[in-house]
Amino acid sequence: MNRTRIGFIGAGGIAQRHLGVLEQFDDVDLVAFADVDFDRALAAAARFGARAFGSHDELLSDESLDAVYICIPPFAHGAAERAVIAKGLPFFVEKPISLDLKFAEELAAKIDAAGLITGVGYHWRYLDTVEEARRQLEQRPAQLVSGYWLDQTPPPQWWWHQDQSGGQMVEQTTHIIDLARYLVGDVTQVFAMAGHRDRADFPGLDVATVSTASLRFASGAIGNIGSTCLLNWGHRVGLHLFAEGLALELTDHDIMIDVGAGRPVRHAEGDPVWREDRDFIDAVRGAPSCIRCSYAEALKTHRIALAINQSAQTGQPIDLAAR
C-alpha cells in the first residue's frame, strides 16, 4: 500500500496526542521528527523507525514528505510554516496559529495562492455532540451564548507569559470561541475586560488570570465567554446555548439538551482527534476534503481571540465587521 509520509515539526505533548492517533492508521508512515530538543525528536523517531532532526529546515530538506504536522508552542510559529509552504506541502498546525495576526494573514494568503490543504487543531468541531448541537440549532438558532474555560494554570512556563502564550483567551478559550463561531456564526463585535492576580506557585506569571468577553454575532445572537486559570483543578470548559424553547450545554465530553422534558446528558462517543486526523490524511491522500477547520477558518477564530485581548487592553469595544 502506498503510505502517506508524515513529518512532525515539534514532538512535545500535543504531538504525542496526534501520534497516538496516526499510529493507528495503516496508510500513514511517520517518517521524520524535528524538535529544537533533539533528544525529544529522537525519542519520537525511535518509536516509529523514523529520522530525527534538530531543526525543521533539516527535516524539510532531507526527507521526502507528503504532509507535515506542526505542533509547536504559540510563540514559535513562523519560520516552520513559511518553510513548509515554500515546499508546497500540506500541513496540519496546532492552535493558536500564531501570536502575530499580520503574520497569520500573510500565511493564509500564501496558502490560498498555493492551494494547499491545511488543517488546524480545533478538534471540538469533531465531537459527535457538536454535530448533534448543530442539528438542534438548525431549527432553533442560538440567541444567547455563554462560554467557559475555568481551569488551572498549565505547567509549561511559556504558558504563564503573555508574550509567549498570548494568554488564556488566545491559548485555551480559543476552542470555545471557535465552537461558538461553528455553531452560531461570525462574530461582529467584542468587548472584553481582564484582571490579574499573582500566583505564588507560578512565579513570573503575567497573563490575565480572569477575563471576560461580550460578543455580538452576525446572526443577532449575543453572548459572553469567561476564562480563569486561578483554580487548582479543571472546573468547567464548555459552551451553553439558548434558543426559543431550547437550552443546550456542551462540554468536551458530553451534551445536555433541555427542551422542557428533563435535563438528559449524553456522553460524547469516539475520539474527535481521531476524526480530525483522519479527515486531514484523507484530504492529503486525494479524497474530497472534509476538513472542518482549515487555516483560513482558524484565522477567523484567531482574529476574535486577539480582538478580545486588544479590547481588554484598550477598554474599547472592537468592531470586527468593519475589518
Residue ranges that bind other proteins, judged by CB under 8 A: 1, 26, 29, 31, 38-39, 41-42, 45-52, 62
CA distance 210 to 230: 8
Written as one string, the DSSP assignment of 91-153 is: EEEPSS--S-HHHHHHHHHHHHHHT--EEE--GGGG-HHHHHHHHHHHHS--SEEEEEEEEEP
Q: Which of 227, 213, 205 is nearest to 156 (CA)?
A: 205
Biggest alpha carbon–alpha carbon distance for the chain: 61
User: At its nearest, how many Å lie between other proteins and the CB of residue 116?
Assistant: 24
* Residues sharing a CB contact under 8 Å with residue 319, sequence separation 6 or more, in sequence order: 188, 189
How is residue 12 annotated by DSSP?
S
User: At its nearest, how many Å lie between other proteins and the CB of residue 51?
Assistant: 5
Residue 321, burial from CB neighbour count under 10 angstroms (0-12, 13-18, 19+): exposed
Residue (33 or 159) nearer to other proteins, CB: 33
User: At its nearest, how many Å lie between other proteins and the CB of residue 10?
Assistant: 17
Residue (51 or 87) nearer to other proteins, CB: 51
User: At its nearest, how many Å lie between other proteins and the CB of residue 14?
Assistant: 22
Residue (42 or 169) nearer to other proteins, CB: 42
User: At its nearest, how many Å lie between other proteins and the CB of residue 125?
Assistant: 31
User: At its nearest, how many Å lie between other proteins and the CB of residue 284?
Assistant: 17
Residue (28 or 180) nearer to other proteins, CB: 28
8 Å CB contact between 212 and 193: yes
Residue 26, burial from CB neighbour count under 10 angstroms (0-12, 13-18, 19+): exposed
Tell me the residue length of the chain.
323
Residue (4 or 173) nearer to other proteins, CB: 4
| CB count in 10 Å sphere of residue 204 | 9
Residue (284 or 308) nearer to other proteins, CB: 284
